[in-house]
Each structure stands twice: as structure tokens, then as C-alpha cells.
Amino acid sequence: MKALSLFANIGVAEAYLDDIGIQVVLANEIDKKRSDVYSYIYPNTELICGDITDECTITNIINRAKTYGVDVIIATPPCQGMSTAGKLEENDVRNELVTYAVRVIAEIKPKYVMLENVPMQLLTKINYNGTMTLIPEYLKKELSEEYLFESKVINTCNYGVPQTRERVIFLLTRKDQENIWKIPQEELKVKTLEDAIGHLPRLDPLINDIDYDEHLRIFPGYEKNREIALAYSSWHTPPSHVYRQVISIMHTPTGQTAFNNIKEQYRPLKKNGEPVHGYKNTYKRQRWDVPAYTITTYNRTISSQNNVHPGRFMGMDKNGDEIYSDPRVLTVYEIMLVMSLPENWNIPRTVSENFIRSVIGEGIPPLFIKKIFKQLI
């Protein structure tokens, strides 16, 4: 089957589609940097870099899709305007981008369509013929004459992905098709963070605001551990953090937040030494025995939500306080495993780590997408 990917990002969703016979022949992405990375990873896909709201761009997408004979459209419009991690502004223009996907669908009339977004899309309204209308109602008004609808809020941890990540999925089947596209049944076995990255050895962070010799005094095995990590992947490199955060997390047990540390000097501190006041899901280590928390676009910071490696008990420090390994966020390689991306996914080394962290945090786990598309084969 031939597919068109709209709002393609760098192609996180389609990482396994070629393996199961779904050929993404055409993709669209507005951002030039993301487009370049997409084309590097998927050199056989024609990538149209441009704004889908621009008439020339959307016309080009439609014409090229017709030329290819596209069977299925994947549309994953930006979710920032609807995400609970954002401002949830009612008039966020990004909420309207789904209308351009609908125009492409209506003109191409593919056999199948997959629309994906955050669950808040179900409660988000857009202007439709002068009336504020819920997006699901808008979709059905525009497309139900031609298509059968299947929709569900899913959690990817119920489909073999070692990460809790909720999404609303719309699967559309053109009414002349015998095979109705269905969301697969949830699986009984849940994959934990231990399953995903528990085999990886200890990796110390780089403390970036102290002398390197002092850094090595704190982490005498740093260089050896770094070398071992690089043997796994060039993206398995030590995250860089400031001293006060590293020391705080070193004394934070698995599954706990540094705000709960008994001694005040090990609780989160500002640069001036004052205590940080924040949510208890920040400065927080993850747990080994459950799926990872949702990977966000801010996965590089200890102070953001649920980003810190679970760590393992190492013993006592010279003051008799418990210390734990890996006082850092997950590496890019670990994030790839948690997102169910291929270990050898061909990301160009010319782009920055922060860029890759951000765009992966916007994606949907490709293992889940693979299982959805297997329903069509």
C-alpha cells in the first residue's frame, strides 16, 4: 500500500511501515530542518517541505498524491494547542490545521485514513461555518458520507510500548472497502522501563558547572562508563547537568522526587541557594517496574516532568546518606528505546541532541503504528 504522511515531523510514526509493506511515498512537513532529517532517514520518500495552509503547497500535495495513487493517509497535526502541557488556548491556530488534512482527504479519497492526536482533541472546538464545533463532530460532518469511523482513546503501554502515552486515534475506512480498519485489541503483557533499558550499565552525567577534575572526583568511573555507553550507540552519551541538581538527584531514591529528600541540602535548590518550589512530578526519578512516563519535548531537563533515570542503590556516602546511580535524565538512545524506535534508527549526527530530543518527544511510538497498520495487511 502507498501512504501519504501529513505533518510528518522527522518520521517517528512510520519507522516500521516499510518493513510490513506500507510504502510512504509522499510526506509533508513545514519545518526545513525537520524535512532535511526526514529525507536523510527516508531517502526514497518524496518530501514536500512547505506550509499546508499555503494554497500552492496543499495543491502540490494533492496532485502528487493522486499521481502516486495513495491508498492511505496518516495525519498527525500538531497537538501543542490541545495538550494539557500547553496553554490550551481556544483560538490557537494550530487547532485548525486538521481542516487542511480534511481537505486533502476529501480530494484524494484514499481507501483509509489515520488521524492521531492528544485526547484533548475530543473536547477542542474549531470554527466550522461560523459555529464553534467539536473536532470529532467536524470530522464526521465533513467525511462520514464517504467513510466509516472507528475512534478510541488508547494508551500505548497497552500495545507493547514501554511508555505511558495516551492518544486519540481515528481510523477511517472508505465505504467501498471490504476490510474495515479496526484498532487492535489491547495486550495483556505490559512492558516496563526495566524491560526497555534495564540491561544498560550505569552512566554518569557530565557536571557542566564545576572543574573537570572535581567532576571526576565525584564520578571516578565517568570516562570508562561513557566509553561503554558509546559501544551501545553514539546517541547514548552522558547528559549534561549542573552540580546542585546532580547532587540532589544522587540522594533521591528510585520512584521518588527530590522534594521529598529528608535533608534540605539535597532538595532542589536555585542557583542562589534558595529552595525551589515546584510540582512533585519534577526532579523525579522514574520507576523500573512500570512503563516509562510520557516522553515530552522537554525531556532533557531534570526540573521538568518525570524525566529522571530510575537509578539503582549504590550504598552510603561519607556522611552516611543513601546514594543512587544515574542522577540524570534519560539519554537519547534510552528515549529511542522507550519510544519503541529501532535501536539503529538512522538519525544524522549533524543535528543537535536537543533538537532530536524535542522532535522525538512530539512523536507517537512507531511500534503502536506498526500494529495498527498490520490490521490492513
pLDDT band, very low/low/confident/very high, at 83 (cuts 50, 70, 90): very low
* Tens digits of residue pLDDT in 112-136: 999 999 899 899 898 998 899 999 9
**Are residues 268 and 259 in contact, defined by beta-carbon separation less than 8 angstroms?**
yes
Distance of CA 142 to the CA centre of its chain: 29
- Region class of 129: left (phi > 0), else alpha (psi between -120 and 50), else beta: left
* Tens digits of residue pLDDT in 329-363: 999 999 999 999 999 999 999 999 999 999 999 99
Q: Where are the domains of the chain?
A: 2-187+365-376, 204-330
Give 56-117 as a DSSP string: HHHHHHHHHHHHHT--EEEE----TTT-TTS---TT-GGGGGHHHHHHHHHHH--SEEEEEE
What's the sign of the alpha-carbon dihedral 282, 287, 291, 295? positive
* Tens digits of residue pLDDT in 156-187: 999 999 999 999 999 999 999 999 999 999 99
Averaged confidence pLDDT in the chain: 94
* Catalytic annotation, pick one of 49, 56, 79, 157: 79
* Tens digits of residue pLDDT in 71-82: 999 999 885 444
pLDDT band, very low/low/confident/very high, at 63 (cuts 50, 70, 90): very high
What number of helices (H) and strands (E) belong to the chain? Answer: 11, 13
Residue 157 annotated to the active site: no
Residue carrying the nine cell digits 517517528 = 12
Q: How far apart (Å, rounded) are the C-alpha atoms in residues 347 and 119?
A: 29
The answer regarding whether domain 2-187+365-376 maps to CATH 3.10.180.10 reads: no
Q: How far is CA 328 from CA 83, 120, 191, 306, 353, in A?
A: 26, 31, 22, 11, 15
Among 139, 164, 162, 143, CA closest to 154: 164
